[in-house]
Chains A and B, each alone.
Chain A
Amino acid sequence: KNQVEQSPQSLIILEGKNCTLQCNYTVSPFSNLRWYKQDTGRGPVSLTIMTFSENTKSNGRYTATLDADTKQSSLHITASQLSDSASYICVVSSQTGANNLFFGTGTRLTVIP
């Protein structure tokens, strides 16, 4: 069964600190993995998209890693800011099937001053 699991469910960190969010998946055959940021009351916004051959991809203070062998990904946020408070959603795409995007339930990050 194709599934995407994220951990932790929620996280509270101090402004300026770093954090890492985890994503494990069982989706096969794998096409790509995406991280989205969703601010409260807004739609998800894409942070990164990684294919099978990409191990690391950065977008400013956000760095995503992918280990396709262990089917794990992480999103590292450096020097967190209050504006990083949001839900972060891991999405994995399969190569087959018409409905081939599988969404995690997200990690709710709260950055406090």
Chain B
Amino acid sequence: NAGVTQTPKFRVLKTGQSMTLLCAQDMNHEYMYWYRQDPGMGLRLIHYSVGEGTTAKGEVPDGYNVSRLKKQNFLLGLESAAPSQTSVYFCASSYQGLSTGELFFGEGSRLTVL
């Protein structure tokens, strides 16, 4: 049982380049989330999805886009990367919504934007 899998684990981009982070979960969870973790700050929600075909903005959505074409996958895109997007990105999934559902996190994707 793989749980939540993120790819790639590491990536270095130049300013202005684009990329997509892939999150896949095999627990049949309805809810999926993308967070970013920066030094000295708590995890911050970028975007989330409450089911296949749905997406919604979180606390810090600017500069990111997401898609949930399949229930098991949640993609996070950066159209034009900026140094401020250097961070560790975590995908998470849950059976229930944020207020009650236990979150299962992936191992993280470390992104550096030069």
* Given known A41-B108, A42-B107, contact A89–B102 (CB-CB < 8 A): no
Q: Which residues of B contact A102 (CB under 8 A)?
A: 42
Interface string of B34-48 (1 = CB under 8 A from A): 000000111111001
* Given known A93-B100, A101-B98, contact A44–B105 (CB-CB < 8 A): yes
The answer to whether A94 has its CB under 8 Å from any CB of chain B is yes
Q: Contact between B107 and A101 (Cβ–Cβ < 8 Å)?
A: no
Shortest A34–chain B CB gap in Å is: 8
Which residue in chain B gives the minimum CB-CB distance to A51?
A: B100
- Of the candidates A42, A46, A94, the one whose C-beta lies within 8 Å of that of B102 is A46
Q: Which residues of B contact A105 (CB under 8 A)?
A: 40-42
Q: Contact between A93 and B42 (Cβ–Cβ < 8 Å)?
A: no
Report how many A-B pairs have Cβ atoms within 8 Å: 56
Shortest B60–chain A CB gap in Å is: 10
* Given known A93-B98, A93-B100, A98-B56, contact A43–B105 (CB-CB < 8 A): yes
The answer to whether A32 has its CB under 8 Å from any CB of chain B is yes
Q: What interface size band does chain A fall in?
A: 20 to 34
The answer to whether A7 has its CB under 8 Å from any CB of chain B is no
- Give residues of chain B (64-114) contacting chain A, Cβ–Cβ below 8 Å: 90, 92, 98-100, 102-108
Q: Which residues of B contact A94 (CB under 8 A)?
A: 99
Q: Contact between A42 and B108 (Cβ–Cβ < 8 Å)?
A: yes
The answer to whether A68 has its CB under 8 Å from any CB of chain B is no
The answer to whether A95 has its CB under 8 Å from any CB of chain B is yes
In the bound complex, how far is the Cα of B96 from the Cα of A32, in angstroms? 14
Shortest B8–chain A CB gap in Å is: 14
